[in-house]
Amino acid sequence: MSTVEERLKHITQKTKRAREHIAELDRQLHAFFDNSPYKVGARRDSQTRKLIYYVTDAQPIPDCIPLIAGDAIQNLMSALDHLAYQIVCSDTGDNPPNPNWIYFPIADDVSKYEDKKHGKMAGASQETFDAIDAVQPYKGGNDSLWALYRLNNIEKHRLLLTVGSHAAGIHLGQLMAHQFRDTFPAEAAAAFESMNVYLNPADKGFPLKAGFELYIGAVDEQLNPKQQFRFEVALNETGIIEGKPLLETVTGFAVQVESIVTTLTPRLK
């Protein structure tokens, strides 16, 4: 019979591999941003005389980025399935009734979860189901875990996750320093410019394309050559994850899965 350490090894190898993919995703995103993929221009509306900052170029996201994100997501979901398998093996003395059909039970709502959990982990003890119930692995309970489950299904059965760029804000300090440059002393303007605060737009323009308007200024407002804008690579799957930063989202999934492994490790013996 396997030891707890041997059982855990199957699970932690998957989470470790997911973390390696996330590190590679971080490197690829940095490489993408290092090539200055977004360019911003300004024009004046001939009728309103308002200054408009807009995107003049937005380079496509390299295919490797959604592929790596998908690999991380698959390994995280696989870690949960390995966890379910090892728990059932532990509960049954390594004699599960349906060894080829063991999956970590996640569902679209609590009713569907209750309907399918016993079939997904046949042979597990009531104490095991009580522990998994506490994780609330369904939409409306643990929405992050549910999103991981749905994204994994999409990634397995479709080409790529929907990943693209969107606008993530205008540098508020530079905007204020420019607008009030004739009102405040130079020291105040410098203090504004040093602020690392971005005004988050309601419309992020996903997927970002040339021509998207980032900010509409005042009538006869003068161009600020220092004005900066922030952009992000985002994950956007309708009804699941919409316009969320890709790296932050996938990293959050890893934290979630690692926490569940830690929580359920006492079920291994």
| pLDDT, averaged across the chain | 94
* Model pLDDT for residues 61-107, shown as the tens digit of each residue: 999 999 999 999 999 999 999 999 999 999 999 999 999 999 999 99
Q: What is the pLDDT at residue 181?
A: 73
| Cα distances (angstroms) measured from residue 267 to each of 4, 83, 84, 260, 262 | 9, 10, 10, 12, 10
Q: What percent of the chain has pLDDT over 90?
A: 85
Q: How confident is the model at residue 191 (pLDDT cuts 50, 70, 90)?
A: confident
Is pLDDT at 192 greater than 80 in this prediction? Answer: no
The DSSP bridge partners found for residue 138 are 107
Alpha helices, DSSP H only, in 42-142? 64-91, 110-120, 126-135
The 3-state DSSP class for residue 203 equals coil
* Model pLDDT for residues 123-133, shown as the tens digit of each residue: 999 999 999 99
Q: What is the pLDDT at residue 122?
A: 97
Q: What is the pLDDT at residue 188?
A: 67
Is pLDDT at 12 greater than 70 in this prediction? Answer: yes
Alpha helices, DSSP H only, in 92-161? 110-120, 126-135, 143-157
* Model pLDDT for residues 155-178, shown as the tens digit of each residue: 877 667 899 999 999 998 888 878
What's the mean pLDDT in 180-206?
Answer: 81
Task: Compute the distance between CA of residue 110 and CA of residue 164 in angstroms, rounded to an integer.
Answer: 32
Are the beta carbons of 155 and 237 closer than 8 angstroms?
no
Dig out the tokens for 50 from the structure: 């308002």
Q: What is the pLDDT at residue 187?
A: 73
Judged by average pLDDT, the poorest of 30-34, 174-178, 231-235, 254-258 is 174-178
E strand or H helix at 213: strand 213-219
Dig out the tokens for 16 from the structure: 């470790």
